[in-house]
Structure 1
Amino acid sequence: MKIQDIPIEIIEQVGDIKKIIFPRQGHTSVVAILDTSYKKYILKKTENELYNEWLSEEYKALRYLYHTELPVPKPYSYYVENKSRWLLMDHIEGISLREYLSKEPNSKDKEKVISNFGLSLKKIHECICPIELLNDEEPWLDAMLIKAEYNLTHFDVDGTEERLIRLKELRPKPVENTLIHGDFTIDNVLVKESNVVGVIDWSGAAYGDPRYDVALAIRPKYNAFDNERDKEIFLNAYGKLRITDEEYNYFEDGIYNFF
């Protein structure tokens, strides 16, 4: 992404761009930090049917969630240009929890940041779900299984037809739904000095099963949740429910493979 690639409408909105910085990012979008004369912005661009849909959903979710007390970036605009989609929002100063933990902080700081990670998820699940994110047509899990089947048919996903059949047959017992993030991983939580300062990538936000967030949060990564101690610290701080191994596998090694 170069300055000349950015739609003129966005250039006019942010003003003079001094430089563009490309942070570590996933494979679903191009993410850039726009450093302007007055402030920094995040600009995300997608060019794929599925990822375009996710970016649109993220913009909608941020519009509703920005008015809560959750640490989410303020959205400014969403722009459609041919097959491309652009989302402009506030930049939150911090690094991902994954990056923080990969630097192998001392045990005290590591325990503090994992505890704050758990507290941040507790805050999300205790937040009143904006009415715009409620789905009155069908339960969250039913909607996810329908989307999973569509994604399996139309896109390149890790899930298989056999796994989807098992997911439909072996549904976990229902629990009370809450506001959920929908992709609550250590990549999507920003920290600064062991404190959580932001939660990003809200395309999966919904009134849904909180176990999905918990399962994704404790996925083992380098120096993160690769031992029982990390999980215990997180769950003690979260303090709302404990998921079983079967529930973890259903969500993390099941549903998540289709998204």
Structure 2
Amino acid sequence: MDLNREQTCGVVSAPLEIAAMLTGYEWLCNTVGESGGTVYRLRSKEGASDLYLKYGRDAVADEISTEMERLNWLARYMTVPAVVHFTRTPDEAWLLMTAVPGTTAYQVLQAHPDYQLALVDAIARFLRQLHAIPVNECPFNSGHAYRLSCARARIDAGLVDEGDFDEERDGWTAEQVWEAMQRLLPLTPDPVVTHGDFSLDNLLIKDGEVIGCIDTGRVGIADRYQDLAILLNCLTEFDAALQERFLKQYGIDEPDQDKLQFHLLLDELF
């Protein structure tokens, strides 16, 4: 597996106020993620800290606007990228952010097999910290009822990439995913503050600990299994024992299989 999750690219056209800030930076385009937007890392040739620029049009621009709001809120509780500049037009959005130092959890797991158990423990500690944020302090709703309505809208608009489904749903249609989710309802909610896309690529590691997270556009109150399902699914690429270790360290002896399945199905539609 290639650990390089980005590639160099030319300077991209940006609004004047952002372009002026990025003179002299080297541009690298992120190759990970299915959000529909584009993420660039700006590497300074003068020794300054890296910056990240996220760009999108239309519905993706709305998502970037949402992420900006969530970044500013979540920064009260943990390390996330700081918003340097935000520009929004009717059709486009540009979000310039600081870089969180560290290496992604995915890269660390891939490069250091002997460190996998310790890293999974660190991820569990970080997720417990996130889920301990008081729900009454969070202004954002990301519950499954809300996200089901968003998923239905994406299906109806033809926005779901059916070719990107997980292997166990290879060849499925978006409607089949939708129907499979309906069979798992209703679910008894267990609301916490969730990241919403708690994947290994969105967690930054430094000195053996998760020091922060990125890609916060789905942060909000939801069932804790929203985060658990995505993280456990990511760990299948490495070792099933890591899933058991993570659940134990997080504090779950018997995971709710219906909730895990539901949230994996839901994630296919975004």
TM-score range, shorter chain: 0.7 to 0.9
What SS does structure 2 have at the residue aligned with 1:150? helix
Question: Aligned partners of 1:235 and 1:160: how far apart in 2?
Answer: 30
Give TM-score scaled by structure 1 length: 0.84
- The Cα of 1:144 is off from its aligned counterpart by 1.3
Give 1:209's match in structure 2, choosing from 198, 223, 230.
223
Name 1:42's counterpart in structure 2. 52
Question: Which residue in the other structure is 1:88 paired with?
Answer: 96
Equivalent position of 2:38 in the other structure: 30
| 1:112 aligned counterpart, secondary structure | helix
- Equivalent residue number for residue 255 of structure 1: 266
- 2:189 counterpart residue number: 175
DSSP 3-state at the match of 1:196? strand
Deviation track 1:215-239 (CA, whole Å, cap 9, x = no partner) reads 0011045753x31x20122112212
Moved more, 84-93 or 179-188: 84-93
Corresponding residue number in structure 1 for 2:24: 17
Match of 1:230 in 2: 242
Q: Is 1:53 aligned to residue 62 of structure 2?
A: yes
Give 2:117's match in structure 1, choosing from 111, 122, 136.
111
Q: Secondary structure at the match of 2:233?
A: coil
TM-score, normalised via structure 2 length: 0.81
1:18-40 deviation line (CA, Å, top 9, x unaligned)? 32233443243222222344432
Q: Does 1:128 align with 2:134?
A: yes
Percentage of identical aligned residues:
21
Q: Describe the shift of the 1:15–1:216 C-alpha distance in structure 2 as closer, same or farther (beyond 3 A).
A: closer
Return 5+ residue gaps in structure 2 as ranges: 1-8, 163-172
Q: Is the 8 A contact 1:64 1:130 kept in 2?
A: no
Structure 1 residue ranges without an equivalent (≥5): none
Looking at structure 2, the residues matched to 94 and 45 of structure 1 have their Cα atoms a distance apart, in angstroms, of 23
- 1:97 — aligned with what? 105
Asked whether the equivalents of residues 101 and 223 of structure 1 are also in contact (C-alpha less than 8 Å), the reply is: no
Count of equivalent residues: 248
Residues 61 and 92, structure 2, Cα contact 8 Å, conserved in 1? yes
Q: CA deviation at 1:111?
A: 0.9
AA at the equivalent of 2:266: I
Provide the C-alpha distance between the structure 2 equivalents of 1:6 and 1:239, rounded to a whole number of angstroms: 46
- Is the 1:148–1:255 Cα contact (8 Å) retained in structure 2? yes
> Which residue pairs with 1:148 in the alignment?
151
Aligned AA (1:246): D
The 3-state SS of whatever aligns with 1:5 is coil
CA distance in 1, matches of 2:177, 2:206: 39
**Cα distance per residue 1:119-174 (max 9 Å; x no partner):** 11111100124746344xxx822111111110101133136224323423422531
Describe the shift of the 1:90–1:148 C-alpha distance in structure 2 as closer, same or farther (beyond 3 A): same
Q: CA RMSD in A?
A: 2.5
| Offset of residue 112 of structure 1 | 0.9
Q: 2:167 is matched with which residue?
A: none
Write the letter of the residue equivalent to 2:250. Answer: Y
Q: Distance in 1 between matches of 2:248 and 2:147?
A: 28
